[in-house]
Structure 1
Amino acid sequence: MSALGRCCTACSRGCYSCRWRNRDNNQEAKCGCCWLFLVSLASLLSLCWMYFFLVAFNDREELNWKAFRLMGHWVNWFMVLVIVYAVISCYCVLLLVFALIQAALKAPLDLHWIHMIFLFCGLILITCGVTGISLKWGERELPVVPLSLQATGPFLQFGAVGALTLLSWLVFQSFHRTQKARSKLLIAVVFGGVSAAIFMWPCFIRSPCLMAKSDLLDKPKLLGHRGAPMLAPENTMMSFNRSLGCGVAAFETDVQVSKDREPFLMHDYNGDGSKKGEFLLRTTNVREVFPNQSFRDSASLTWKELQRLNAGEWFLKTDPFRTASQLSRREQEAARNQSVPSLMQLLRLAQRHNVSVIFDLYSPNQHNDTIDVVDTILRSGIEPSLILWLPSAQRRYVSATAPSFIQYYASEQEMLDNGGKHLNMRYSNLSTQKIRELRRSNVTVNLWTVNEPWLFSLLWCAGASSVTTNACHLLKDMERPHWTMEPREYRLIWISVDAVSVVIMAILCYIQRKKRERQKGYSHQQDGDAASFLLCTVMTRHVS
């Protein structure tokens, strides 16, 4: 072995086994194969789990919000989990790399006990994470994974083919080195099955972005989710003003009604399951202003009392989207002095800029509050067609009192029952195929909450009419989806990549076979030379 080979062997053995000397032991070799399998499994699981977190990054605030409801304190738990599992993934992958180097250099795979402990701890943390997310967040978030595969599937397949091609060298090496027929058969069957699955993966990819470019519809309109919450405190006038700079088509907000019947903007409310008195805790300084009081819901405070609350300082303290540092000093000062706005203030802003308004109505008394909200809208003087009415309570009353309001529905069935043509749903609750079918039926489809460009690109390809977003400043500059490809073009690339991989693997297999044959020939020659030498020695002694 060359000096470089000995150095690589010693380094990889030191990192993987914490041993610097080679030790030959058949029992350790068998255990080493088992640990290699476990390291490979842990690496695969950790990478899949990290992939889940990357695609779930769009909904990170939902996880943080659930944690806030449980603990009453705002912490960016999503980023904490991402960092923890990123460390686990990097550790497992590095361990696998060292193991593969060991295998390539034909060194023993005796994993050190410290790595064994860390490996099991990592698997336990991943198991706990999968269980916790599945129980508390799975119904909403797990459907995002198949959706993300429509956006990343073609490129993941190309990467998998590349990884398979590189690893085939080790597989062929093990195959030709193995003497037992059963072992050879097992290696051939497993490798052949994995290869077939990876090569034929595109047969099961159904992405809306595999389309003719002429079929691409106009870019979906942007609706500012509580304004522009990455640029200013949510549901404040500063936030809605910042969203105007993104060219939003509508303001999305949340309306509640005060004790003295004034509709105001606030998302958090007691009816969502949070503790009593904490419906204002996340986005206001209610504890400082009313330290000895506990408010059950919005009807517990008058509008004058609400005006005493600061609705912006929390944004600079908690920095929920890690964007507060991007604000200028002037913008930070403006954010620090925001108050709770009324619905009338928002309606007048929307009227001046000809922007629509869509909102949820959070209320313990839907009947009376609906009447007050409709009355406020009509008194504001805003064009009625700019109001996108979403609350399902008292919809008949709203239709009769303000027939020019555009009725939006939160479920397809409710829309069909009322003969509507406007749908507002979570993006993961509609398949891309269903979105396309609805658009063909002239249904306006708005999807919430879409923050990541890859997701926006996918829904653009699917034909979404508009999206509600926290990241209007990021999506406004997109002129086209991240990628679109003609189906015929994709098939050509797919077949070409697979064919090149097969050719390369065939060459590698041939090289390994020839190398093994040369090693056997050299071994036989050495055995023959030794036998000849022994025979000559015996004959010489006999003659003597």
Structure 2
Amino acid sequence: MKVTALDPNPYIRPTNTPLTVIAHRGASSLAPENTMFAQETARRSGADFIENDVQLSKDGVPYLLHDSTVDRTTDGTGDITTLTAAQLDTLDAGSWFSPLYTGARIPTLATQLADLRTRGGNLLLEIKRADTKNDVAAMIDVVRAHNMTDRVIMQSFDTRHLRWVHDLAPELPLGLLRSTLDTDPVAIAEDLHLTTYNPNGNALDTTPGIVADLHAAGIAVMAWTADTPAKWNRYDNYGVDGIITNRPAELTGWNWARNGSTP
């Protein structure tokens, strides 16, 4: 029998080290979600990763947007897949949050990656809608064009998306989002070639030991979306590697205090 050693997973944190801070849609408690303002605020808050959602415009340009429509977070209306890049670029994506952010735009994925590449930061990118392999390819093309494959993790709730990413860009790390735990998270992680398994943090309360099982298989765990010290403490005790949060500044400060260090 031949035993093949697993390559170490850089996203599994060593014992007694801080949690990885992942800013949900940017620092979305302080700035309009999925905008460059939210990204910059998260960066200055000490976030290790920005978490954003990506979808394609009518003409196939990847944009950062969570909802299917632009109605909630812009001054426009309509499904993003019915709007061209030229139309999306005119929308105000900030004033809904505060007049201070009037004029903020919906960023393209290219804009976001250019900022991260030159000014620092990593991206946990959720494929929100992609009906075909070509849709996913359009997103990957932008990541590759900006030479960011080593600083981007692609994640999705849809296993088809992850299989397509692996086929098209096996060098890209993959994360599976889950609202509830799979019957056998390790088996599905191995089947999908996952780097990280990303469940709703509340789901871990039912089976916290699964974190150790995933680690033993070389899979990191990033829990979502936790915004209170009580949850950070609980998930830290479970051994998760990172936490997706709307409050990255507070989690960064909590990390410092938890690990006996100072800013």
Instruction: Report the TM range for the smaller structure's normalisation.
Output: 0.7 to 0.9
1:474 matches 2:250: yes
Paired residue secondary structure (1:282) = coil
Q: Residues 406-433 of structure 1, C-alpha deviation per residue, up to 9 Å, x if partnerless?
A: 1222352421323534211111122323
- In the aligned structure 1, how far is the partner of 2:90 from the partner of 2:169? 33
Q: Residues 164-219 of structure 1, C-alpha deviation per residue, up to 9 Å, x if partnerless?
A: xxxxxxxxxxxxxxxxxxxxxxxxxxxxxxxxxxxxxxxxxxxxxxxxxxx96322
Asked whether the 8 Å contact 1:461–1:481 carries over to 2, the reply is no
AA matched with 1:446: M
Q: Alpha carbons of 1:473 and 1:304: their partners in 2 closer, same or farther (altered >3 Å)?
A: same
Match of residue 71 from structure 2: 281
AA matched with 1:416: E
AA matched with 1:299: T
- In the aligned structure 1, how far is the partner of 2:128 from the partner of 2:212? 31
Question: Identity over the aligned pairs, expressed in percent?
Answer: 24
- Equivalent residues in 2 for 1:512-531, closer than 5 Å: none
- In the aligned structure 1, how far is the partner of 2:81 from the partner of 2:194? 32
Q: Residues 262-296 of structure 1, C-alpha deviation per residue, up to 9 Å, x if partnerless?
A: 10011111xxxxxxxxx221111115xxxxxxx3x
Q: Alpha carbons of 1:440 and 1:403: their partners in 2 closer, same or farther (altered >3 Å)?
A: closer
- In the aligned structure 1, how far is the partner of 2:53 from the partner of 2:117? 18
Match of residue 165 from structure 2: 398
1:369 matches 2:135: yes
Match of residue 198 from structure 2: 424
1:386 matches 2:146: no
Match of residue 348 from structure 1: 114
Asked whether the 8 Å contact 2:137–2:168 carries over to 1, the reply is no
Structure 1-normalised TM-score?
A: 0.41
Instruction: Report the alpha carbon displacement of residue 480 of structure 1 after superposing the two structures with TM.
Output: 4.4
Question: After the TM superposition, which of the residue ranges 450-459 and 366-375 deviates more from structure 2?
Answer: 366-375
1:249 matches 2:48: yes
Match of residue 443 from structure 1: 219
Instruction: Report the alpha carbon displacement of residue 440 of structure 1 after superposing the two structures with TM.
Output: 4.5
Instruction: Report the alpha carbon displacement of residue 464 of structure 1 after superposing the two structures with TM.
Output: 0.9
- In the aligned structure 2, how far is the partner of 1:337 from the partner of 1:394? 33
Asked whether the 8 Å contact 1:217–1:463 carries over to 2, the reply is no
Match of residue 89 from structure 2: 307
Structure 2-normalised TM-score?
A: 0.81
Paired residue secondary structure (1:408) = strand
- In the aligned structure 2, how far is the partner of 1:437 from the partner of 1:217? 19
- In the aligned structure 2, how far is the partner of 1:312 from the partner of 1:304? 18
Q: How many residue pairs get matched? A: 234
Instruction: Report the alpha carbon displacement of residue 368 of structure 1 after superposing the two structures with TM.
Output: 2.5
Instruction: Report the alpha carbon displacement of residue 441 of structure 1 after superposing the two structures with TM.
Output: 4.3
| Root mean square deviation, CA, Å | 2.2
Higher relative contact order (CA 8 A, sep 6+): 2
Instruction: Report the alpha carbon displacement of residue 398 of structure 1 after superposing the two structures with TM.
Output: 2.4
- In the aligned structure 1, how far is the partner of 2:220 from the partner of 2:134? 30
- In the aligned structure 1, how far is the partner of 2:95 from the partner of 2:223? 30
Higher helix share: 1
Asked whether the 8 Å contact 1:450–1:467 carries over to 2, the reply is yes
Match of residue 9 from structure 2: none
- Equivalent residues in 2 for 1:119-518, closer than 5 Å: 217-269=16-68, 279-287=69-77, 295=78, 297-316=79-98, 333=100, 335-363=101-129, 365-382=131-148, 384-391=149-156, 392-410=159-177, 412=185, 413-430=187-204, 431-478=207-254, 479-481=256-258
Instruction: Report the alpha carbon displacement of residue 380 of structure 1 after superposing the two structures with TM.
Output: 1.9
Asked whether the 8 Å contact 2:124–2:152 carries over to 1, the reply is yes
Q: Alpha carbons of 1:480 and 1:463: their partners in 2 closer, same or farther (altered >3 Å)?
A: farther
Asked whether the 8 Å contact 1:457–1:480 carries over to 2, the reply is no
Q: Alpha carbons of 1:241 and 1:458: their partners in 2 closer, same or farther (altered >3 Å)?
A: same
- In the aligned structure 1, how far is the partner of 2:108 from the partner of 2:67? 15
Q: Alpha carbons of 1:424 and 1:401: their partners in 2 closer, same or farther (altered >3 Å)?
A: same
- In the aligned structure 2, how far is the partner of 1:415 from the partner of 1:425? 12
- In the aligned structure 2, how far is the partner of 1:253 from the partner of 1:414? 24
Asked whether the 8 Å contact 1:237–1:346 carries over to 2, the reply is yes
Gaps of 5+ in 2: 1-13
Instruction: Report the alpha carbon displacement of residue 226 of structure 1 after superposing the two structures with TM.
Output: 0.4
Paired residue secondary structure (1:390) = strand
Match of residue 94 from structure 1: none
